[in-house]
Amino acid sequence: MSYLGSKILELLQRPVKFNSFQQLCHQLNVSKKLPIFQKSSPVFQNQRGIRKIRMSIPRELSYNKTLYAAFLRKLYPLEQHTVHKDLYAAYCALPSPQPLHIEPQHFEHLLCQFVDSGGFHRGINTNYLANIMTDMFQCGMKASLREVNNYLYLKNYNNNEALPLVERDYEYVLKVSEFHISTANIFLKFAIQTRNVEFISRILNDIAERNLKFDRMTYQMLISYSCDIGDTERSNALFGNYLDIGHVLDISIVNTIIKSLVSNGELSKANEIVELLFKNAKQLGSRQDNSNATHSRRQNVQELNFIDSLKLQRQDSLLFVPTPTFNSFSPLLYNYCSFRHFDALTIFKYLEEMNDLNIEIPNSMYIHIFKSFQEQDVKDLDYLKFTLNFLINEKNVKYNDELFESILESFLKHSGYQNKLVNGIENQWSQLKMNLIKGGSFKKGRSQVEEFSIDAINKLMVFY
């Protein structure tokens, strides 16, 4: 690990061609060239080819006009908001097999509605999509790479998933779809998360047998995994290959190295890298734009893939100064919140630095900090108020019950459960929760929880 940490430090201290990723993109005219690059990609070409074949399959359009009209109303709602549950019900009401009783252009639009769905209902929408795709396969229609990948993304495998279920999906994908590195990455991510060496080996063998090339995501996952299991030789080789091939060294790969350094106990090296990232960003006046963070991340990946294809990255220098993100600081923050390495001053230093760079700090981090204060039995009131001050200045903080209870418990413990103000707030909070639970509307009572939390926090800041 020391080699990777030293290499990153060395690169961060060298002159760069561009002050920022945005400047590099502007110089390369990426905004104009990116659409052309995307249309030439294997995934796009596959999507276009598969859709063309599906559209050409003859339909049996002897449907009930009333049922079909009801289906179209759900497919093209006047309010422009698709209710997937109702749309799927209207689809099921059509004659079986449904894909052959739907106009080609309407079926493609139906598929898009589920493939591109997300949000709170993505779990149930995945089940609907799985059933539609099964109907589609039975009618001799294939799924595109993009559709398969989005389905797997929506399925959102986690560490508790049964391996046989995931392997079954893997086998199925190999049969019904072209195997692409983007698809392999989805399964590789799960295999690495669960530390399933056999499954990892199988995926890598399938990648090799099909002569697929690693992309930046593959390298990033394998470098992280190699570091975590202590395979220094392999992680160094992978990092060297990553640069040799021309993949851009951006903040995501730097964050991967920071996380691996922390997990291997190389805190000094990780601290040096984070401090250098902060220093460089401050000198250039770099600040994060959080107005549409999800869109920015997706756009950055697309732009990076395009720049990767130009092979501009070299072993001995960076193309631009990486701007730190929350994931640059979080491994060290979690470390210094731990019982063994607790260091409040370092926690506050990182909170200040993230604030200076306009880096959004999620609820989960604040909850973790307050819980660490409870574990450490922190006696200094300034620690609690200092953290609260950062919290109330966050633009996108969500004042939910878990966050407020972590704050309240910290103040209760600090006061020895003897302070009238804190005890009063606790009683009011218990009553509010009871009322919301009785009304069966705890989720719907978010605005009440938020209003109560803000009022209580202000009282704690002023009067405690």
Walk along the chain (464 residues) and give the pLDDT tens digit of each residue.
678 999 999 999 999 989 899 999 999 999 999 999 999 999 999 999 999 999 999 988 766 888 999 999 999 998 778 899 999 999 999 999 999 999 999 999 999 999 988 766 677 888 899 999 999 999 999 999 999 998 888 887 776 777 788 888 899 888 878 899 999 999 999 999 989 999 999 999 999 999 999 999 999 999 999 998 989 899 999 999 999 999 999 999 999 999 999 999 999 999 999 999 999 999 887 766 654 455 466 678 899 999 999 999 988 999 999 999 999 999 999 999 999 999 999 999 999 999 999 999 999 999 999 999 999 988 888 899 999 999 998 888 899 999 999 999 999 998 888 889 999 999 999 999 888 877 666 666 788 999 999 999 999 998 77
Which of these, 12, 44, 81, 3, lies nearest to 316 by C-alpha position?
A: 12
Q: DSSP assignment of 130-176, as one string?
A: HHHHHHHHHTT----HHHHHHHHHHH---TTS-HHHHHHHHHHHHHH
What pLDDT does 295 receive? 46
| N-to-C CA span, the chain | 46
Token reading at 128: 């609907």
Sign of CA dihedral 240, 246, 250, 255: negative
What pLDDT does 418 receive? 84
What pLDDT does 435 receive? 85
- Count the neighbouring beta carbons within 10 Å of the beta carbon of residue 449: 21
3-state secondary structure of 229: coil
Peptide bond into 97 cis (omega under 30): yes
Q: Are 234 and 228 in contact (CB under 8 A)?
A: no
- Cα 396 from Cα 103, distance rounded (Å): 44
Q: Are 366 and 330 in contact (CB under 8 A)?
A: no
Which of these, 28, 50, 21, 180, lies nearest to 108 by C-alpha position?
A: 50
Nearest-Å Rg of the Cα atoms of the chain is 26
Token reading at 111: 């598929």
- Cα 21 from Cα 102, distance rounded (Å): 46
Token reading at 268: 């000094």
What pLDDT does 159 receive? 64
Please report which residue ranges of 264-400 form alpha helices under DSSP H.
267-284, 293-309, 326-337, 344-356, 363-376, 381-392
What pLDDT does 262 receive? 95
3-state secondary structure of 322: coil
For helices 267-284 and 251-263, give the axis angle rounded to 10 degrees. Answer: 150
pLDDT tens string 248-301: 999 999 999 999 999 999 999 999 999 999 999 998 877 666 544 554 666 788
Biggest distance spanned by C-alpha atoms of the chain: 77
- Cα 344 from Cα 346, distance rounded (Å): 5
Q: Name the residue ranges covered by the structural domains of the chain.
A: 1-42+155-324, 58-140, 326-463
Q: Are 219 and 241 in contact (CB under 8 A)?
A: yes
Q: What is the pTM of this model?
A: 0.87
* Helix (H) or strand (E) run with residue 112 in it: helix 104-115
Residue 110, CA distances (Å) to 60, 120, 128 in order: 17, 19, 11
What pLDDT does 360 receive? 92
Q: Are 199 and 208 in contact (CB under 8 A)?
A: no
